[in-house]
Amino acid sequence: MFAVISTCKCDECDVEIFPNFFIHKKKKFISIESIKNDQFIYLNGNQVFDQNLFIDFDQQLIQNTVSFEGYTNAYNTKIRIIKQRKEQMSLPIISDNGDV
């Protein structure tokens, strides 16, 4: 999946505008609405996050008192297991007599 991240910059007024925030005189401003009302969250750089990822982390933190490091380790393990399962499911099954 590819996405286009549109930004705008005004050198005269020293403002840069991004999808979820703007920077004015080297200070970053983020509104609650820009985070709550979008499906994706852009914080900077080349990464865009799905809102569901933050909802999941929020609930894990509140309900299970999971640290961010613990959450990211669990999430990365989950992704690795899902990927391995998909790879295993795509392998051809060979019977004992050699038929596929």
Q: What is the pLDDT of residues 10-32, one digit of tens each?
A: 999 999 988 888 899 989 888 87
Query: Judging by DSSP bridges, how do beta strands 22-24 and 40-44 pair with one another?
Result: unpaired
The pTM assigned to this predicted structure is 0.47
Render pLDDT for 50-100 as a digit per residue (tens, 0 to 9).
Answer: 888 878 877 877 777 878 888 888 888 888 888 888 787 766 666 566 555
In whole angstroms, give the CA distance from residue 76 to residue 41: 19
Say how far apart CA 11 and CA 87 lie, in whole Å.
49
Domain ranges of the chain: 1-45, 51-91
